[in-house]
Amino acid sequence: MSNTLTIDINSKSCGSFLGAAIGDSLGWPYELRAGTVQVSYTGKDAFPDWSRRTGGRFYNHEEVIGAGDYSDDTQLILATARSLQYGKKWFDAFSLVELPFWTKYERGGGGATKRAAKLWLEGRQPWQAADKQRHQYFQAGGNGVAMRILPHCIDRAVDAEFRLLANDIFRNGITTHGHPLALIGALAYGYAVWHGVKVFKTLEYGELVDTLLSSVSDWGAIPSDNDLYGEWFDAANQALKNYQELWNKSLDSFVRNLEFIKSEIQKGALLVEGDVLGKIGFYDKRINGAGTVAAMSAVFIVSSNAINPEQGLLKVAKADGADSDTIASMAGGLYGALFGEEWAARYIEYVQDREYIRRISKQIVNNPGATDKTPPPITESMLTSFYNKLPALIADKKVILPDGRRATLLEGVEIAPETAKYSVVRYKFITDDSQKLYIKKFSRKPQKERTLLDYATTAHGKSDIARPQSVSNRIGVKIGTSLFEETIDFYSNRAGLEVKKKTNDYARFKNGLSVYKNAKNKNGEQTPSLVLCFMVEDIKAVFKNIEQSDLKIVTSLTTAEAESFFKCLDPNGYVVEFNQV
């Protein structure tokens, strides 16, 4: 490539990476209203410190997010970029190193990506996993692919055809998502970024939409010129019957929405952006996480605000009820591909890891150290060993991370969870290449050793000695009922049980009883349910034992926010929920 072109692409690569990070960090506090914050519209004040509740049922806690910190969107863009340093072996680097390690430092990661990453960690391709996991994978149509494929677009910027980039996007995408909505959205967005990087002229009003509509044959087909297509497509057809038909229907719907966007953009000054975004699903919480919705929303907002990128980015970053961080990240990446980094100058200095992001964006363009050497995969035992050693690490000392990078531990801070029985410690690392990573360790606090006196009472002058329950035998009961308030009244006011926590549809008592609101059945009748809840020390072993029996698994073993659980039926037909200690 010529020197002029290289300089321009360097600028566009930096602008694209930094624009994505800016959009992510601007939008994260607003992601489906992830936290309640007051944010001004410009400059430094657009990046506040804010907090979010996270940790699931057992480790629920409030985490303070630093001003300008980015979330999983930028984390996975950077993970993709690092994998490209392995040249032709980038797929192995991404699926066997980057995704497994990401499960330990992810911030706000999507369920589909986390589930798939854990399968790779266990040595299983998601499309070859057990039935339930494979079903979840092929139902995953979210924006988790579209949000991370930007580095591939920069890497292939000088290609004359989209074909090789399409295959890269497809291979990256199927590591975590199998539904056409995810892959079509990623391909369309990838084409828009690729086109933007190659454009060195003033962008015409609505040009991006026109470009996508005129090139559907380039980005709209299932990329089949790659080593994974055959076995993957066979699995896709088994899971979703006629996958090609589903793909075609999803593509047709996407193209119709693009045509609608084009017709609205042609109205010029009469365009009402909010109405357009509403009609394509931007505000609809049922579908606004889809890859196609994210792609068309980002393309639309960039097209309609091409003369004022800052304004366009802030509109989506602060949109009420939208998947704001991802769509703002995608819009920021697209703005950077078109205009470089000058448009975002007032925001760059406040974004987490800006120098690391700038450096890795340039490496993608020049790629001087690319190697085709296969990276050593991260195993479950390696990751567990690193995780368990966290409490023994010493601040300011160097450590080797599971992905092979060297890092320094800056601090370890305990975050108070909702219950004093558990501990949450957040470890902050800085890698030698200047990326900050936050890794949280969840654990059960050691219980005070109990003596006979702890179980003795002086009632009637006698000592009543009870046998303490072991952790693995602790039990709770959940009652689901449409007579929610009546049930709370019975157990609290009539039976005298103390309520520990109560919301509009859930209550927890101190003795282990929980009550939640159930809807009435279609006949308007009350349909109570009873769930027995156990805490066990080795949930995988328990799940395996029950899975090998004739008993029905109601909810397969699931891990989310550092907690694992599953539900089954016991021989009497009662629902039993097992939770990992």
If asked whether residues 422 and 490 sit together in one domain, one would say no
- Alpha-carbon distance of 211 to 355, in angstroms, equals 33
Q: Is residue 96 part of a domain?
A: no
Domain assignment present for 61: no
Residue 1 lies in a domain: no
Q: Report the pLDDT value the prediction gives residue 572, as an integer from 0 to 100.
A: 72
* pLDDT string in tens for the chain (581-residue length): 334 455 589 999 999 999 999 999 999 988 755 433 344 444 556 788 888 888 877 778 888 899 999 999 999 999 999 999 999 999 999 999 999 999 999 999 999 999 999 999 999 999 999 999 999 999 999 999 999 999 999 999 999 999 999 999 999 999 999 999 999 999 999 999 999 999 888 888 889 999 999 999 999 999 998 888 899 999 999 999 899 999 999 999 999 999 999 999 999 888 999 999 999 999 998 999 999 999 999 999 999 999 999 999 999 998 877 889 999 999 999 999 999 999 999 999 999 999 999 999 999 997 755 677 888 999 999 999 999 999 999 888 899 999 999 999 999 998 876 666 788 999 999 999 999 999 999 887 765 544 433 433 333 344 333 333 333 445 678 888 888 888 888 778 776 778 888 887 788 887 678 888 876 544 555 556 788 888 877 888 888 888 888 788 888 888 765 678 888 887 777 788 888 86
Question: Is 133 a member of any domain?
Answer: no
Asked, for residue 450, whether it belongs to a domain, the answer is no
Total count of domains within the chain: 3
Is residue 155 annotated as involved in ligand binding? no
Give the H/E segment covering residue 534: strand 529-536
Maximum Cα–Cα distance for the chain, whole Å?
Answer: 95
> Tokens 């005298």 belong to which residue?
496
Summarize pLDDT for 66-95 with one digit per residue, the tens.
999 999 999 999 999 999 999 999 999 999
Q: Which of 444, 463, 495 is the last residue of a domain?
A: 444
* Matching residue, tokens 């694209």: 16
Residue 68, phi-psi category: left (phi > 0), alpha (psi -120 to 50), beta (remainder): left
Please tell me whether residue 541 adopts helix, strand or coil conformation: helix
Separation of alpha carbons 103 and 442, rounded Å = 14
The CATH number given to whatever domain includes residue 526 is 3.10.180.10
Alpha carbon distance 498, 491 (integer Å): 8
Q: What is the CATH number of the domain that holds 394?
A: 2.30.30.30
CA distance 137 to 174: 9
Binding residue per annotation — 72? yes
Binding residue per annotation — 326? yes
Tokens of 497: 């049980």
- Look at residue 524 in the predicted model and tell me its pLDDT: 53
Query: Is 558 in a helix, a strand, or coil?
Result: strand
What pLDDT, on the 0 to 100 scale, is given for residue 40? Answer: 41
Residue 332 has phi, psi (to 5 degrees) of -65, -40
Q: What is the DSSP letter of 280?
A: T
Residue 73 known to bind ligand? yes
DSSP one-letter string for 33-83: S-S-----SSSGGGS--EEEEESTTTS-EEEEEPTT---HHHHHHHHHHHH
In this structure, what are the phi and psi dihedrals at residue 198, rounded to the nearest 5 degrees? -85, -10
Residue 60 lies in a domain: no
Query: Over the stretch 206-215, which tens digit does the pLDDT of each residue have?
Result: 899 999 999 9
Q: How far apart are CA 46 and CA 35, in angstroms?
A: 14
Q: Report whether 423 contacts 445 (CB < 8 A).
A: yes
Three-state secondary structure of 464-492: CCCCCCCHHHCEEEEEEECCHHHHHHHHH
Distance separating alpha carbons of residues 492 and 430, to the nearest angstrom: 50
The annotation status of 71 as a binding-site residue, yes or no, is: yes
Residue 284 is assigned to a structural domain of this protein: yes
User: Which residue, 366, 399, 433, sits at the end of a domain?
Assistant: 366
Domain end marker among 314, 341, 366? 366
Q: Answer yes or no: do 218 and 291 share one domain.
A: yes
Q: Compute the distance between CA of residue 477 and CA of residue 204 in angstroms, rounded to an integer.
A: 62
Predicted confidence at residue 188, as pLDDT, reads: 99
What are φ and ψ of residue 544, in 5° steps? Answer: -60, -45
Helices (H), 97-179: 99-105, 111-121, 131-138, 150-155, 163-173
> Judging by DSSP bridges, how do beta strands 506-509 and 499-502 pair with one another?
antiparallel
Rg (CA), the chain: 26
Nearest to 331 by CA among 353, 310, 355, 346: 310
**Coil vs helix vs strand at 293:** helix
233, containing H or E segment:
helix 229-240
Has residue 544 been placed in a domain? yes
User: How far is 71 from 86, CA to CA, in rounded Å?
Assistant: 24
Calpha distance 117→361 (Å, rounded): 24
Do 186 and 307 fall within a single domain?
Answer: yes
- CA angle at residue 91 from 145 to 155, to 5 degrees? 75
User: Token match 């690729």: residue?
Assistant: 194
Strand order in 406-415's β-sheet? 398-400, 406-415, 422-431, 436-444
Do 216 and 282 share a structural domain? yes
Task: Tell me, letter by letter, the H, E, C secondary structure of 11-29.
Answer: HHHHHHHHHHHHHHHHHHH
Judgement on whether residues 257 and 344 belong to the same structural domain of the protein: yes
**pLDDT per residue as tens digits for the range 273-311:** 999 999 999 999 899 999 999 999 999 999 999 999 999
Domain of residue 548, residue span: 474-580
Regarding whether 315 and 229 lie in a shared domain, the answer is yes
The answer to whether residues 508 and 429 belong to one domain is: no
* Number of other CB atoms surrounding residue 79 within 10 Å: 21
Please check whether residues 409 and 318 belong to one and the same domain: no
One domain, residues 334 and 212: yes
Rounded (5°) CA angle 461-467-468: 115
Contacts of 318 (CB under 8 A, 6+ apart): 26, 27, 30, 39, 41, 324
Q: Is the dihedral of CA 112, 334, 343, 274 positive or negative?
A: negative
Which tokens belong to 391? Answer: 């409490």
Token digits for 571?
């021989």
Domain identity same for 248 and 283: yes
Asked if 420 and 547 sit in the same domain, the reply is no
User: Which amino acid is it at 382?
Assistant: M
For residue 412, the one-letter residue type is G
**432 and 564 co-located in one domain:** no
CATH classification of the domain holding 22: 1.10.4080.10
Helix %, strand %, coil % for the chain, to 5? 50, 15, 35
> What is the phi/psi pair of residue 11, to 5°?
-65, -40
Which amino acid type is present at position 579? Answer: N
Residues in the chain: 581
Residue 325 among known ligand-binding residues: yes
